[in-house]
């Protein structure tokens, strides 16, 4: 690890901490409809959209079933529309690259992927998708899938707070408010800053060039409305790139400053959600504790990734490669990395993008060292609760919290309770469902893929990394991350369908049980804390909850990890 | 039920208009007003011709150029349709072989036997990396100076003038833009006296 890489990581986390708290407060005000200052600016937009939506978006609060039904209906309608748009893009305008419509299975996979906030991409965007489909389809769902997650968090927090025992709020109002007051303004600002750094924003198909040595390369560079899409794909934990190389492409992430801001945007809203939850349940210590849990897990794993990528590979040194960091080079393992970010900047991003369920990359995860591969897989396999997705990270962590409170209750001999509310058998079952089903989708999907030729034949690398490629694909899909060990040929029918199923399970089989859990908590009375109550904001409980997340993850995935990156770590050490 | 259908349809239309048309349109207008050069791809001109983008690397072969990094772009080296890399892990035998071959090729080209800076023998993530490390540039100075008939000190000074340090001393890594360096090299070779006038600024 170099000093500058560590300092860069420290600066990033400091910025996240300083910005997330006020942003979380603002999020809570938006959800409570108390955003006065912002309302003056964006209020007309909000009122217009709500009028469009009609009676459903009245001030009536919904039961958990009603909230879930509205959320599912909206997401299903979005998938249909997105599927149609991707299939029909050849017939529509703004298709300067003359791309054909996407084939049915690929369009299905992509529609599911963007609506579930996964942004798994089984295609190279600049040679597949029209400007119209990118801007008016994929980017729209970058906003709406993030807004869906944030709305679900607001509803779940209302259930935990239980101030509104008639219901969990109105889905349509939450959706409109968070998009108009939070996602849109943040994206506008970030998009413009990114353009200033060199991210392109153009409706031309391409820029013709006459290279200095023309015979050796192509003579055009693909352009597009990139900055507007990159801003929201970073902020909304989406991660789907405008270009195949994602944020490693110089037109998508041109400078160290753009890289820092994009990396900050990965973590910003997921971290803010912790503080928003604290504000929504009127106990800010709980929000700070959730943030602390995330940081406690993230920090050591990030350092492992940084160390792994910066280390020299002995066999390469013997071959005559200089990987040592010095004044004139960052050094480290630079295969699949960009010089302007270096090994440290790429390892930091890799940890951040898998901790949060973003999945954008600024280097090829397929070329990461085994140590960093272990970290990226492990962070996703926590169920994306270490920062996680916008909204989904915190409500996913709440599922673990319910389990941890139960375990702690067993240890101290008290009935489990959180925020003064008793947690009973129904809540435990729902929390366990939300944790176990996505994990089962990862392991079963991987097992099936390894067993059938259609799955096992799609790998690029030999040996243990071949297994890692498959495990990573289902881990990424079922946890709605979207990054890949991209050697895997994911465009095959087996993976387009299998991963679409995994993405659906990972998204809705967490949202619905957690809404149900919140629904049953909403109508439960809260008792005032006594001297014997478990203090769920104390450092001891923070560590206990972090341990619960890690132990559940380790029990579920240690055997699979041992077959992939762990084997590779030993082999790399011996090579 | 009808209320839900209406809300779905109306909000999908409304959001598509707002976030899919108005938002990118607004960003495009603002970008065109404030940062038109960046929004259009940071294109570099010489004698009126667009020779490339400051942000996108190019293939340079031959003794008289500074070479960029190897590119494993799927369409061929430095082909932007599409961007990408090899995705080979550090234990892949074919990757080990290609790194070894690049080391041998670099040492033959530079006529030396010293360790090769890692960026010169590994492929980038995008296949379009416009930069090499300063170490990678200095490594090529003797050969380029020889081929161009320039004093080594002048070429070394040119590289030094093109080094971009870490942003704020912390962010990213030090680097040299290969296209800009080679353009400056052409200028220097055409008029050695004006070496001092060569800057690392934009060449419009």
- Nearest CB partner across the interface for A212, out of B5, B129, B182: B182
Separation of alpha carbons A113 and A481, rounded Å: 10
The answer to whether the beta carbons of residues A52 and A176 sit under 8 Å apart is no
Separation of alpha carbons A53 and A176, rounded Å: 10
DSSP A225: B
Question: Please, which pLDDT band fits residue A574 given cuts at 50, 70 and 90?
Answer: confident
Q: Check CB contact of A221 with chain B, cutoff 8 Å.
A: yes
Give the count of beta carbons closer than 10 Å to the beta carbon of residue B60: 20
Burial of A570 (0-12, 13-18, 19+ CB in 10 A): exposed
Q: List phi, psi (to 5°) of A473.
A: -60, -50
Write the pLDDT tens digit of every residue in A302-329: 999 999 999 999 999 999 999 999 999 9
Residues of B in contact with A362 (CB under 8 A): 125
Residue of A456, A523, A447 lying closest to A478 (CA atoms): A447
Query: Do both B187 and B93 map to the same domain?
Result: yes
Residue B20 is part of which domain span?
Answer: 1-40
Question: Would you say residue A212 lies in a domain?
Answer: no
Residues of B in contact with A329 (CB under 8 A): 117-119, 133-136, 173-174
* Position B82 pLDDT exceeds 50: yes
Query: Do both B54 and B31 map to the same domain?
Result: no
Helices and strands in chain B, H and E counts: 7, 6
Query: Do both B23 and B117 map to the same domain?
Result: no
CA distances from A17 to A10, A281, A294, A298 (A): 11, 20, 12, 13
Separation of alpha carbons A220 and B84, rounded Å: 16
Query: Mean per-residue pLDDT for B65-86?
Result: 95
Task: Write out the two tokens for A546.
Answer: 């972090």
CA distances from A433 to A290, A472, A517 (A): 21, 22, 11
Separation of alpha carbons A359 and A357, rounded Å: 6
Bridge partners for B171 per DSSP: B167
The answer to whether the beta carbons of residues B134 and A329 sit under 8 Å apart is yes
Helical segments of chain B, H only? 2-17, 23-34, 36-39, 93-110, 134-148, 152-162, 178-190
Contact A338 B79 (CB under 8 A): no
Bridge partners for B175 per DSSP: B164
3-state helix, strand, coil in chain B (%, to 5): 50, 10, 40
Question: Please, which pLDDT band fits residue A555 given cuts at 50, 70 and 90?
Answer: very high
Q: Please name the helix (run of DSSP H) or strand (run of DSSP E) that holds residue B200, with its range, or none.
A: none
Write the pLDDT tens digit of every residue in A275-309: 999 999 999 999 999 999 999 999 999 999 999 99
Q: Is A32 helix (H, G, I), strand (E, B) or coil?
A: coil
User: b vs e for A358-386, b when ≥16 Cβ sit within 10 Å of the residue's Cβ?
Assistant: bbbbbbbbbbbbbbbbbbbbbbbbbbbbb
The answer to whether the beta carbons of residues A565 and A472 sit under 8 Å apart is no
Question: Would you say residue A322 lies in a domain?
Answer: no
Query: Mean per-residue pLDDT for A334-350?
Result: 98
The answer to whether the beta carbons of residues A94 and A204 sit under 8 Å apart is no
Question: Would you say residue A300 lies in a domain?
Answer: yes
Query: Do both B113 and B178 map to the same domain?
Result: yes
Contact A200 B79 (CB under 8 A): no
Contact B131 A251 (CB under 8 A): no
Look up tokens 């859990």; give the residue. Answer: A517
Query: Mean per-residue pLDDT for A90-118?
Result: 97
Q: Dihedral sign, CA of A537, A401, A374, B69?
A: negative
Residues of A in contact with B21 (CB under 8 A): 135-136
DSSP string, A290-355: HHHHHHHHHHHHHHHHHHHHHSPPHHHHHHTEE---BTTB--S--TT--TTTHHHHHHHHHHHHHH
Query: Do both B51 and B150 map to the same domain?
Result: yes
What is the percent of chain A where pLDDT is above 90?
Answer: 91
Q: How many domains does chain A have?
A: 1
Look up tokens 């609760």; give the residue. Answer: A385
Q: List phi, psi (to 5°) of A220.
A: -155, 150
Write the pLDDT tens digit of every residue in A358-389: 999 999 999 999 999 999 999 999 999 999 99
Query: Do both B142 and B168 map to the same domain?
Result: yes
Question: Would you say residue A70 lies in a domain?
Answer: yes
Bridge partners for B177 per DSSP: B131
Residue of A245, A338, A224, A107 lying closest to B75 (CA atoms): A245
Whole-number mean pLDDT of chain A?
95
Residue of A274, A506, A281, A550 lying closest to A403 (CA atoms): A550
Q: Please name the helix (run of DSSP H) or strand (run of DSSP E) that holds residue A34, with its range, or none.
A: none
Question: Please, which pLDDT band fits residue A34 given cuts at 50, 70 and 90?
Answer: confident
Query: Do both B79 and B159 map to the same domain?
Result: yes
Question: Please, which pLDDT band fits residue B192 given cuts at 50, 70 and 90?
Answer: low
Whole-number mean pLDDT of chain B?
93
Separation of alpha carbons A352 and A356, rounded Å: 6
Query: Do both B17 and B56 map to the same domain?
Result: no
Contact A328 B82 (CB under 8 A): no
Q: List phi, psi (to 5°) of B53.
A: -115, 145
The answer to whether the beta carbons of residues A468 and A480 sit under 8 Å apart is no
Write the pLDDT tens digit of every residue in A209-267: 999 887 667 789 999 999 999 999 999 999 999 999 999 999 999 999 999 999 999 99
Question: Would you say residue A145 lies in a domain?
Answer: yes
DSSP B122: S
Give the count of beta carbons closer than 10 Å to the beta carbon of residue A554: 14
Look up tokens 């407060």; give the residue. Answer: A25
Task: Write out the two tokens for A504.
Answer: 């659906």
- In this prediction, residue B2 carries a pLDDT of 87
Write down how long chain A is: 575
A152: CB partners within 8 A, 6+ apart: A71, A391, A392, A395, A511, A514, A515
The answer to whether the beta carbons of residues A445 and A478 sit under 8 Å apart is yes
User: Higher pLDDT residue, A354 or A534?
Assistant: A354
Q: Please name the helix (run of DSSP H) or strand (run of DSSP E) that holds residue B172, with its range, or none.
A: none
Question: Please, which pLDDT band fits residue A38 given cuts at 50, 70 and 90?
Answer: low
- In this prediction, residue A525 carries a pLDDT of 86
Q: How many domains does chain B have?
A: 2
User: Higher pLDDT residue, B191 or A432?
Assistant: A432
Model ipTM over 0.85: yes
Chain centroid offset of residue A320 CA: 39
Distance from CA of B46 to the nearest CA of A (A): 10
Q: List phi, psi (to 5°) of B171.
A: -85, 135
* Position A198 pLDDT exceeds 80: yes
Q: Check CB contact of B67 with chain A, cutoff 8 Å.
A: no
- In this prediction, residue A164 carries a pLDDT of 57
Query: Mean per-residue pLDDT for A509-537?
Result: 91
The answer to whether the beta carbons of residues A182 and A30 sit under 8 Å apart is yes
Residue A404 is part of which domain span?
Answer: 3-207+221-317+328-574
- In this prediction, residue A182 carries a pLDDT of 96
Write the pLDDT tens digit of every residue in B164-178: 999 999 999 999 999
Residues of B in contact with A212 (CB under 8 A): 51-52, 58, 60, 65, 179, 182-183
Contact A136 B20 (CB under 8 A): yes
Question: Would you say residue A370 lies in a domain?
Answer: yes
Query: Do both B62 and B25 map to the same domain?
Result: no
Task: Write out the two tokens for A459.
Answer: 């790998």
Query: Do both B91 and B192 map to the same domain?
Result: yes
Q: How many CA atoms lie within 13 A of A19 on its CB side?
A: 16
C-alpha Rg value of chain B to the nearest Å: 22
Query: Mean per-residue pLDDT for A152-168?
Result: 87
Q: List phi, psi (to 5°) of A295.
A: -65, -40
- Nearest CB partner across the interface for B88, out of A81, A139, A461: A461
**Residues 84 to 113 of B: which have CB under 8 A from any A CB?**
84-93, 95-96, 99-100, 103, 107, 113
Q: Three-state SS across A552-565?
A: HHHHHHHHHHHHHH
Query: Mean per-residue pLDDT for A559-572?
Result: 96
What ranges make up the beta strands (E) of A413-572? 417-418, 421-422
């Amino acid at each position: 690890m170099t000093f500058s890489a560590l300092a860069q990581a420290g600066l990033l986390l400091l910025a996240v901490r300083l910005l997330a708290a006020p942003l979380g407060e603002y999020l809570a005000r938006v959800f409570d409809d108390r955003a006065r200052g912002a309302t003056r600016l964006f209020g007309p937009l909000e009122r217009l959209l709500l009028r469009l939506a009609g009676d459903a978006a009245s001030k009536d609060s919904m039961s958990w079933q009603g909230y879930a039904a509205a959320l599912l209906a909206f997401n299903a309608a979005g998938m249909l529309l997105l599927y149609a748009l991707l299939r029909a893009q050849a017939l529509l305008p703004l298709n300067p690259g003359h791309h054909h419509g996407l084939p049915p299975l690929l369009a299905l996979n992509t529609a599911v992927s963007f609506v579930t906030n996964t942004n798994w991409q089984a295609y190279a965007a600049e040679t597949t998708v029209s400007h119209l489909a990118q801007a008016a389809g994929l980017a729209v769902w970058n906003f709406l899938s993030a807004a869906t997650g944030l709305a679900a968090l607001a509803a779940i927090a209302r259930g935990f707070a239980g101030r509104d025992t008639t219901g969990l709020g109105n889905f349509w109002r939450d959706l409109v408010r968070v998009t108009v007051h939070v996602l849109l303004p943040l994206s506008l600002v970030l998009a413009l800053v990114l353009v200033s750094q060199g991210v392109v924003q153009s409706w031309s198909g391409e820029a013709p060039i006459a290279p200095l040595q023309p015979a050796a390369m192509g003579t055009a560079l693909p352009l597009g409305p990139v900055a507007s899409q990159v801003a929201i794909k970073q902020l909304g934990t989406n991660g789907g790139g405008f270009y195949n190389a994602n944020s490693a492409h110089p037109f998508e992430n041109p400078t160290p400053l753009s890289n820092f801001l994009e990396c900050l945007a990965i973590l910003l809203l997921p971290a803010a959600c912790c503080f928003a939850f604290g504000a929504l349940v009127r106990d800010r210590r709980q929000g700070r504790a959730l943030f602390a849990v995330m940081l406690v897990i993230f920090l050591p794993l990030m350092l492992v990734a940084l160390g792994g990528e910066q280390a020299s590979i002995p066999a390469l040194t013997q071959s005559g490669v200089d990987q040592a960091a010095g004044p004139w080079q960052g050094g480290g393992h630079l295969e699949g990395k960009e010089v302007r970010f270096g090994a440290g900047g790429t390892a930091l991003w890799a940890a951040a993008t898998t901790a949060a369920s973003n999945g954008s990359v600024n280097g090829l995860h397929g070329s990461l060292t085994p140590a960093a591969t272990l970290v990226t897989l492990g962070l996703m396999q926590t169920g994306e609760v270490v920062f996680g997705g916008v909204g989904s990270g915190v409500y996913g962590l709440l599922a673990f919290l319910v389990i941890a409170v139960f375990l702690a209750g067993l240890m101290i001999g008290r009935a489990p309770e959180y925020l003064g509310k008793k947690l009973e058998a129904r809540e435990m079952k729902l929390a366990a469902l939300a944790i176990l089903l996505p994990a089962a989708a990862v392991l079963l999907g991987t097992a099936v893929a390894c067993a059938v030729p259609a799955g096992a034949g799609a790998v690029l690398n030999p040996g243990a990394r071949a297994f890692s490629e498959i495990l990573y694909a289902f881990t990424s899909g079922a946890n709605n991350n979207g990054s890949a060990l991209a050697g895997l040929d994911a465009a095959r029918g087996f993976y387009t369908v299998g991963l679409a199923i995994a993405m659906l399970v990972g998204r809705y089989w967490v949202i619905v049980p957690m809404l149900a859990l919140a629904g049953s908590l909403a109508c439960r009375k809260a008792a005032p804390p006594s001297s014997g109550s478990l203090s769920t904001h104390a450092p001891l409980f923070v560590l206990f909850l972090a341990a619960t997340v890690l132990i559940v993850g380790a029990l579920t995935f240690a055997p699979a990890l041992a077959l992939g990156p762990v084997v590779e770590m030993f082999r790399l050490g011996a090579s | 039920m009808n209320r839900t259908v209406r809300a779905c349809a109306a909000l999908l239309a409304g959001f598509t208009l707002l976030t899919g048309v108005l938002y990118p349109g607004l960003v495009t207008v603002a970008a065109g007003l404030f940062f038109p050069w960046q929004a259009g791809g940071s294109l570099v001109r010489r004698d009126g011709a667009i020779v490339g983008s400051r942000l996108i690397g190019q293939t340079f072969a031959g003794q008289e150029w500074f070479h960029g990094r190897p590119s494993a772009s799927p369409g061929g080296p430095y082909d932007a349709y599409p961007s990408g890399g090899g995705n080979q892990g550090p234990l892949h035998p074919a990757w080990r072989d290609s790194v070894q071959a690049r080391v041998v090729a670099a040492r033959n080209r530079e006529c030396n036997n010293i360790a090769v800076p890692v960026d010169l023998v590994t492929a980038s993530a995008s296949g379009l990396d416009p930069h090499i490390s300063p170490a990678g540039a200095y490594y090529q100075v003797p050969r380029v100076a020889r081929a161009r008939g320039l004093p080594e000190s002048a070429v070394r000074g040119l590289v030094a003038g093109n080094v971009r340090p870490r942003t704020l001393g912390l962010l990213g890594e030090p680097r040299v833009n290969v296209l800009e360096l080679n353009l400056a090299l052409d200028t220097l070779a055409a008029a050695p006296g004006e070496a001092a006038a060569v800057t690392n600024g934009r060449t419009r």
